[in-house]
Amino acid sequence: MFQRVLNGLYGFGLVLSAASLVSIGLLILAQIVGRWFGVIVPSAEDFTGFLLVSVLFNGLAYSFRHNAHIRVVLLLERLGPRRRLVELFGLTLLLGLTGYLTVAFTRFVLETYAFGDLSTGMVAVPLWIPQSAMVFGMALFCLAVLDDWLRCLRGQTLSYVLAEAHGEGAE
């Protein structure tokens, strides 16, 4: 049950990432068509940048769980029974890094909110709004790493190993 909720969250991050990517395409299309008619799309570059952050960060957890991140599989395959220990070490380092970044990004966004920082484009956007996508995506990624870290501690098959066995992810 709990794993289904987590998988739903990872999928939601993917949907946010995909919707942001589609929105970038629509903004670029609007700029192209707008030029034909002498219409400017205000702050299109700013919004494209904000959406790009959403694409990158919100897709991290899903891609991690589905073996789409770069890993040194050749080295891992040669380790035999020590592979679990190396995987645990790597996941521990990644968990520490993602946890640190989640806290740091959260503090940054809270500071931005407290100072009332605005974007400098034609449309002044409170910067904490687009920065929140970064925090959400990194927190989701941290949760996905924690999920696999716990699986590794319990001796269960890791999500990205399962995905690899099913032919998903990076080739």
pLDDT in tens, 36-83: 999 999 999 999 999 999 999 999 999 989 887 666 666 667 777 787
- Hey, how many other C-beta atoms are within 10 angstroms of the C-beta on 113? 15
Burial 28-49 (b: 16+ CB within 10 A, else e): eeeeeeeeeeeeebebbebbbe
Identity of the amino acid at 83: R
The residue-averaged pLDDT of 102-119 equals 97
Six-digit token string for 62: 């899903």
Q: How far apart are CA 79 and CA 106, in angstroms?
A: 38
- Hey, how many other C-beta atoms are within 10 angstroms of the C-beta on 89? 11
* Extents of the domains making up the chain: 2-164
* pLDDT given at position 171: 46
The torsion angles phi and psi of 126, rounded to 5 degrees, stand at: -60, 120
* pLDDT given at position 83: 78
To the question of pTM greater than 0.95 for the whole model, the response is: no
* pLDDT given at position 82: 82
* pLDDT given at position 110: 98
* pLDDT given at position 157: 83
* pLDDT given at position 71: 65
* CB < 8 Å & 24+ apart, contacts of 124-132: 125/43, 125/46, 125/47, 125/50, 130/50, 130/53, 130/54, 131/53, 131/105
Share of the chain above pLDDT 90, in %: 72
